[in-house]
Amino acid sequence: MKVANPWTTVDKSVVYENPWIRVREDNVIRPDGSPGIYGIVHYKNKAIGVLPIDDEGFIYLVGQYRYPLDLYSWEIPEGGCPEGEEPLEAAQRELLEETGLSASTWELLGTAHLSNSVSNEEAFWFLATGLTQGIAQPDGTEELATKRVHFDEALHMVAQGEITDALSVLAINSYAISRLNLTKNSKQ
């Protein structure tokens, strides 16, 4: 459905930039006709997540301290996809870097826009199966732990608020829904 933009942009200015983000402030005319400002965070990378599931129904989570939140987080393997790299290539790279795993089968499970009221960040998450263990190669900014948990336990961790990372919640829940749909369709 095509809808006309009710906002009018008067001008744009970059107020901050680093290698990962650009913050822009736009002077606008709001939908009600009043002047206003709009701050937009442009992410220079797409968000990439991987849900690696082995033949026994276990997934691999990555634990790391998240500086902006000042807390430790368990999440699926994740990372950024810079301009010019395909999301699948970034997913394959991130899985290997963070867990040492490679996968023979890949499936795009979903896409989303994260925090779309203030950013244009786009996320992609993949299912990775046919896993082979290798050696992890984390970035210098990452001090990672990994743990293997059954998918049902990971789903419980989401329900209990133990996994709060948005991309991890999206990937785990979307896979759970796809499993329900497969079960439902096989009973028909």
For residues 51 and 33, membership in a common domain is answered with: no
For residues 52 and 33, membership in a common domain is answered with: no
What pLDDT sits at residue 182?
66
Whether 93 has a pLDDT exceeding 80, the answer reads yes
Q: What is the pTM of this model?
A: 0.90
What pLDDT sits at residue 165?
97
For residues 68 and 15, membership in a common domain is answered with: no
**Percent of the chain whose pLDDT exceeds 70:** 96
For residues 32 and 51, membership in a common domain is answered with: no
In-domain check, residue 2: no
Nearest to 110 by CA among 127, 93, 86, 131: 127
pLDDT: which is higher, 28 or 141:
28
Whether 184 has a pLDDT exceeding 70, the answer reads no
Give the list of residues 6+ apart from residue 22 with CB closer than 8 angstroms, or none.
Answer: 14, 16, 41, 42, 44
For residues 95 and 137, membership in a common domain is answered with: yes
The domain in which residue 178 lies consists of: 45-187
Measure the CA–CA gap between 30 and 18, rounded to whole angstroms. 29
Contact 127, 178 (CB under 8 A): no
Measure the CA–CA gap between 167 and 112, rounded to whole angstroms. 9
Measure the CA–CA gap between 159 and 5, rounded to whole angstroms. 37
